[in-house]
Amino acid sequence: MADGDTPVTMSDVARLAGVSTATVSRVVNGRYGVSASTIAQVRSAIERLGYESSLVATSLRRSRTNVLGLVTHSFQSYTAEVLKGVMDALRQSGFDLIIYANSDLYGTYSEGWEQRHLTRLSGTLTDGCIVVTPWGEVRSSTPVVVIDPVRDSTVPSVTADNLAGATQVVEHLLGLGHRRIGFIAGRSSLAAAWSREEGYRRALAEAGVPADPTLIGRGDFNPESAIPLARALLERPDRPTAIFAASDGMALKVLEVAKELGLDVPGDLSVVGFDNIPESALAEPALTTVDQSMYRLGHEAARMLKSLVTGEWEGPRQILLPTRLVVRGSTAPPRITTPQITKRP
Amino acid sequence: MADGDTPVTMSDVARLAGVSTATVSRVVNGRYGVSASTIAQVRSAIERLGYESSLVATSLRRSRTNVLGLVTHSFQSYTAEVLKGVMDALRQSGFDLIIYANSDLYGTYSEGWEQRHLTRLSGTLTDGCIVVTPWGEVRSSTPVVVIDPVRDSTVPSVTADNLAGATQVVEHLLGLGHRRIGFIAGRSSLAAAWSREEGYRRALAEAGVPADPTLIGRGDFNPESAIPLARALLERPDRPTAIFAASDGMALKVLEVAKELGLDVPGDLSVVGFDNIPESALAEPALTTVDQSMYRLGHEAARMLKSLVTGEWEGPRQILLPTRLVVRGSTAPPRITTPQITKRP
DNA sequence: ATTGCAATCGTTATCGGTTACGTTTCCAAC
DNA sequence: GTTGGAAACGTAACCGATAACGATTGCAAT
């Protein structure tokens, strides 16, 4: 009860109940072949001693730990949302979650980091891992599910339908009357970044709007990376009337830059993001964005990993989740390059 | 390398190196008593086989797992900030972090939850635990550090200087000219909630402002709980000119209610929170609040737990962290009950 | 009274490391 | 040439639980 007492083991229980440890084990695991009276005796001994089975010893014997891992390089609100989904999917499933994160605060990030942790964990502490937005392809001796994988990855993964989402964004902007639409891209190695850019291109192409490569800024999903890019786009004489940033974090920085330059949003400039992180709804003006339900990404990834570990997964190994355009206050018809009044429907 | 191969064990290494497992163990753990040439052989065998020692087996033998636990009942931005601090403190310390959370989404919370998980974890999976804002006193066979403990707790803990923070808030409001100041309290069992309320009372008393008990609403730190309380306070004919909520989550709800009732903040009503969660800076108007650096709470708790586990803790077992008043746009001189113009210094 | 078959329970090897202890080797000192 | 002793290494018990296997028991069928 207090600190410092030696932990009570299964053989303590066995001794008190007058049976063998095998029988105690059977009772604990609810296995067949123990008489009702013995079960009662063992139960009461367990109760009296306050016995808790050792997760460590159990893990060693079975070769399952019932612990899943989550590896992430950053710990922003995106990851936090994912985490909620993961934990909800795992609650009462018998699996515990262990987290490896590199919170990106001291710049100690190194590229092989994820892989190092994966190999250390797999086959030893965890039964499987979820990896969030990795830098490269991952391999492991235990099952892995990747959220937002790199391009052309064959590892089991969960991704939002970024192509559709980005297409909708551009269609929304085109519908408002925008023709010069800037784009701030994400880390190009990620499939998500590529799809969002591809959606941007396709939607423009289908609408017959000529693509202007100089309107594309090369960001990396890090919010800070968007600042110089936004500045460059907005200080041009022929500045775009709208900017679509590949993530909310970057879009919020675009808002700041616009404010700094004295531009009114959405009057002078429309801004759209992607992700729908909680902060976006609170921004001023509230950010139009694409909801990709990071909660669901996490939830599905956990569900998938769980059944992958238990060997009962049926569905596809690459899951695509729907996205949804969320129109808020940061988008409106342009009034600069198209001086005529454009009424909204 | 690929999936499905049996993990390579220490005896595999031993066989290849032509030594016993004991020697391999000595090499792996850098212990004295192995010749340089043997070390080299073992090292190369480890290298060739890609051997990784089993954390589970090691944990069973030594009675240390090098895993710390974090138990929390909710997973809001408060907890996320704490988590960042914890993980930063633990990085490269050789300790891993395992998280138990009840994200409060399905109302499955039950009061004994924390204690159940604590007893299950301690002495089996973790070497010690951090518990965030528990519902009751906690006990465990391994070290525990509590962030925001209950009142009169004797368990090692880390808390912000809530009394000082709350006092500053009220002094700030008094300085602006407010006299009728409402208060929305937090979960009263927590020391933090009590201290904040105490600070509110003391500051009023010291300023000679008569306390009006009807201006105090009994919330529980859950943002939703503040809604009816704020409504009740603001629909009175003699409504307060300022409301101090014991947490930012609740304060943000007060802002919403005020907006709903057509009250201008800070013109008709000043609002102050406590915590300084990220959302507060983004609110409209930005929320005046008290920064208690949840990051530092987590960081200090982890540092303390770590040394408690290794038995090298020197400092006090109850840590008090400074707070800081952050004045933003949600507070201003009152203009309702005090019609005269009050100039700021 | 045997036989047969379940149901029940104990023995024991094992999971992968760690470590107390014992053994061997080797070299310096007597 | 012994002896002493430290260095280097192997043996085996052990951490706590699980499971294959064998042993015992009880009871119905023969």
Query: Is the CB of B87 less than 8 angstroms away from the CB of A98?
Result: no
As a whole number of angstroms, the distance between CA A340 and CA A276 comes to: 32
Q: Is the CB of B61 under 7 A from strand C?
A: yes
User: Distance (Å, rounded) from C-alpha A77 to C-alpha B253?
Assistant: 20
| CA-to-CA separations, B182 to A54, A190, B18, B269, B283, in angstroms, rounded | 51, 50, 77, 10, 20
pLDDT at residue A344 is higher than 80: no
Nucleotides of chain C within 7 Å of a protein C-beta?
A: 7-12, 14-20
Give the residue extent of every domain in chain B: 10-53, 67-160+294-321, 162-292
Q: What is the pLDDT of residue A274?
A: 96
What average pLDDT score do residues B56-77 get? 86
For residue A236, pLDDT beyond 60:
yes
- What lies within 8 Å, CB to CB, of B101 at 6+ separation is A87, B70, B71, B72, B73, B74, B75, B79
Q: What pLDDT is stored for residue B106 in this prediction?
A: 40
Beta strand pairing call for B324-326 and B289-291: antiparallel
- What's this model's pTM, rounded to 2 decimal places? 0.84
Position B300 pLDDT exceeds 90:
yes
Disruptive mutation site among B46, B90, B120, B124 for chain A (greatest number of A CBs within 10 Å): B124
Average pLDDT, chain A: 88
- Amino acid B135: pLDDT: 83
The answer to whether the beta carbons of residues A191 and A159 sit under 8 Å apart is yes
Q: Does residue A103 carry a pLDDT above 70?
A: no
- Give the CA-to-C1' distance from B20 to D11 in angstroms: 9
Q: Is residue B244 scored above 90 in pLDDT?
A: yes
Task: Return the pLDDT at B169.
Answer: 97
The string of pLDDT tens digits covering residues B134-152 is 888 888 888 999 999 999 9
pLDDT band at A337 (very low <50, low <70, confident <90, very high): very low
**CB of B209 closer than 8 Å to CB of B174:** yes
User: Stretch B41-46: mean pLDDT, rounded?
Assistant: 94
Which secondary structure element, helix H or strand E, spans residue A256, and what is its range?
helix A248-260
Task: Give the confidence band of A170 by pLDDT, cuts at 50, 70, 90.
Answer: very high
pLDDT over 80 at B57, yes or no: yes
Residue B342: pLDDT band (50, 70, 90) is very low
Give dist(CA B298, CA A338) in Å, integer: 52
Q: Which stretch, A188-192, A297-301, B62-66, has highest mean pLDDT?
A: A297-301
**What's the pLDDT tens digit per position in A128-154?**
999 998 888 888 888 999 999 999 999
High-pLDDT (> 90) share of chain A, %: 63
pLDDT of res. B131: 93
What homologous superfamily does CATH list for A10-53? lambda repressor-like DNA-binding domains (1.10.260.40)
Which amino acid is it at B107? G
Phi, psi of B265 (to 5 degrees): -110, 125
Give yes or no for a contact between B126 and B68, defined as CB atoms under 8 angstroms apart.
yes
Residue B195 half-sphere exposure, CB side, CA atoms within 13 Å?
Answer: 21
Superfamily grouping for domain B162-292:
Response regulator (3.40.50.2300)
The DSSP letter of residue B215 is G
**The domains spanning A67-160+294-321 and A162-292 adopt the same CATH topology:** yes
Cβ pairs A/B, distance under 8 A: 124
Query: Residue range B293-316: average pLDDT?
Result: 91
**Cα of B307 vs its chain's centroid, Å:** 19
Q: How far is the CA of A32 from the C1' of C1 (A)?
A: 32
DSSP structure string for A317-330: SEEEE--EEE--TT
Q: Tokens at residue A137, please?
A: 């392809």
Q: Which two tokens stand for residue B28?
A: 């792996």
Distance CA A91, CA B73 (A): 12
CATH number assigned to the domain covering B67-160+294-321: 3.40.50.2300
Question: Within 7 Å: CB of B307 and strand C?
Answer: no
Between residues A101 and B3, which one has the greater pLDDT?
Answer: A101
* Best residue of A9, A28, A55, A144 to probe chain B, by most B CBs closer than 10 Å: A55
Residues in CB range of B64: below 8 A, 6 or more apart: B127, B309
Query: How do residues B249-280 score in pLDDT, each as one tens digit?
Result: 999 999 999 999 999 999 999 999 999 998 89
The mean pLDDT of B304-332, rounded to a whole number, is: 92
A55 touches strand C (CB under 7 A): no
- Higher-pLDDT residue of B171, A343: B171
Q: Select from B65, B105, B279 the Cβ nearest to the Cβ of A56.
A: B65
Give the integer Cα–Cα distance in Å for B102 and B108. 8
Half-sphere exposure of B327 (CA within 13 A, CB side): 11
Please answer yes or no on whether B5 and A141 come within 8 Å at the CB atom: yes
A6 DSSP 8-state letter: P
**For A124, which of B56, B77, B101 is closest by C-beta distance?**
B56
Give the nucleotide nearest to A37 (CA→C1'): C8
Cβ A96–B98 below 8 Å, yes or no?
yes
Average per-residue pLDDT for chain B:
88
Instruction: Place A270 in a pLDDT band, splitting at 50, 70 and 90.
Output: very high
**pLDDT tens by residue, A199-215:** 999 999 999 999 899 99
Amino acid (one-letter) located at B105: L
B283 band by pLDDT with thresholds 50, 70 and 90 = confident
Q: What is the DSSP string of B170-227?
A: HHHHHHHT---EEEEE--TTBHHHHHHHHHHHHHHHHTTPPP-GGGEEE--S-GGGHH
Is A3 within 8 Å of B141 when comparing Cβ atoms? yes
| Mutation target vs B (from A73, A96, A138; most B CBs, 10 A cutoff) | A96
Nearest CA-CA partner of A249 in A270, A219, A285 = A219
Q: Which of A12-26, A101-115, B117-131 has the lowest mean pLDDT?
A: A101-115
B7 touches strand C (CB under 7 A): yes
Q: In this structure, is the CB of residue A243 within 7 Å of any atom belonging to strand D?
A: no
A164 close to A199: Cβ distance less than 8 angstroms: yes
CB-based contact B112:B274 (threshold 8 Å): no
Lowest mean pLDDT among A14-23, A54-63, A314-323, A330-339: A330-339
Work out the pLDDT band at B343, boundaries 50, 70, 90: very low
CA distance A192 to B45: 41
Range scoring the smallest mean pLDDT among B101-110, B205-214, B247-256: B101-110
Query: How many helices, marked H, and strands, marked E, lie in chain B?
Result: 12, 12
